[in-house]
Amino acid sequence: AQSVAQPEDQVNVAEGNPLTVKCTYSVSGNPYLFWYVQYPNRGLQFLLKYITGDNLVKGSYGFEAEFNKSQTSFHLKKPSALVSDSALYFCAVREGTGFQKLVFGTGTRLLVSP
């Protein structure tokens, strides 16, 4: 079965500093990877995805993610954090061959301090 792991429960960063939220994956075959963000009392919002092609994927709100096949990682990054980026971030992998579904990691809480 496909899976993703988010090793950090929480990441703290000061506003204006770069941020990284880590994700590693375990898949058979080509990985289809996603990042979602969840604000308080809201559903999950799609940030970006990796299907194939360039290893650096650009997404919404200035976020990007770097796919690294040798390290089986898909870390989420942003060059300059905003206080409004504080939220819960989930990495996910698409699983299945016929009927497919997203399998989520446990989430990482990002806290950006002013």
Does 51 interact with other proteins (rule: CB under 8 A)? yes
For residue 103, state whether it binds other proteins (rule: CB under 8 A): yes
Partners of 92 in beta bridges? 34, 104
Q: Which one of 44, 57, 81, 93 is in contact with other proteins (CB under 8 A)?
A: 44
> Does residue 111 interact with other proteins by CB under 8 A?
no
End-to-end CA distance of the chain: 41
Q: Which of 15, 22, 24, 49 binds other proteins (CB under 8 A)?
A: 49
Considering the complex, state which of residue 13 and residue 107 has its C-beta at the smaller distance from other proteins: 107
Residue 94 to residue 2: CA distance in whole angstroms: 8
Q: Which among 67, 61, 68 has a CA at the least distance from the CA of 89?
A: 61
What whole-number distance in Å separates Cα of residue 100 and Cα of residue 65? 23
Q: How many CB atoms lie within 10 A of CB 62?
A: 13
Is residue 25 a contact residue for other proteins (CB under 8 A)?
no
Can residue 13 be called a binding residue for other proteins (CB under 8 A)?
no
Which amino acid, residue 88? L
104 touches other proteins (CB under 8 A): yes
| Interface residue list for other proteins (CB under 8 A) | 32, 34, 36, 41-46, 49, 51, 90, 96, 98-107
